[in-house]
Amino acid sequence: MAFALSNMAVSSSAFGTHDAIPARHSPEADNLSPALAWQGAPEGAKSFAVICHDPDAPLIQNGTYGFVHWLLYNLPASTSELAEGTDKGTAGVNDFGEQNYGGPMPPEGHGVHHYYFWVLALDTGLDLPPGLKLHELLDKVEPHLLGMNRLVGTYQRD
């Protein structure tokens, strides 16, 4: 299946669609991943992956654009929410070069950036190793993608 939106709904108790992400979830404060929840996952979903990506970042690297803030995968089908600062799942490497959540931190004076928190529903449980980069994760999950959707938040540094 090609990457396309499904009817799955993604939400957060920390911010609403296109609302500002609280500083608590950025390196300017506690840098905790926000709570996320999803419902309406496609029938047959056996696992989930989460990606946070900033397409407004002025970077092109590894043939892609933007900045990857979080890769989380190996989330079992029983997962429909992640608590703030979660330790669930397996972490990939973000573009900070770290294996954890790295919150919004656009360059000073760069204006508002949009942060896409993607949830991907997969048709199998993949036992992927820690430390995958975005392109590696996408290569592994694309053949198993049942559906996906996202929550978009914004952040701007003063």
Q: How many CB atoms lie within 10 A of CB 3?
A: 12
pLDDT 10s digits, 96-132: 999 999 999 998 888 999 999 999 999 999 999 999 9
Phi, psi of 95 (to 5 degrees): -80, 0
Rounded to whole angstroms, the Cα distance separating 35 from 16 reads: 12
Tokens of 9: 């709904």
Label the pairing between strands 67-76 and 113-122.
Answer: unpaired
Judge residue 7's burial from the number of C-beta atoms within 10 Å of its C-beta, 0-12 exposed, 13-18 middle, 19 or more buried: exposed
Tokens of 62: 């590894």
Phi, psi of 137 (to 5 degrees): -65, -45
CA nearest 117: which of 72, 147, 62, 86?
Answer: 72
pLDDT class of 1 with cuts at 50, 70, 90: very low
Question: What structural domains does the chain harbor?
Answer: 22-141 (3.90.280.10)
Say what the pTM is. Answer: 0.94
In this prediction, residues 132-153 reach a mean pLDDT of: 96
Contact 117, 157 (CB under 8 A): no
Q: How many CB atoms lie within 10 A of CB 67?
A: 23
pLDDT at 61 over 80: no
DSSP H helices in the chain? 134-141
- Top pLDDT among 5 and 51 is at 51
Q: DSSP class of residue 123?
A: S
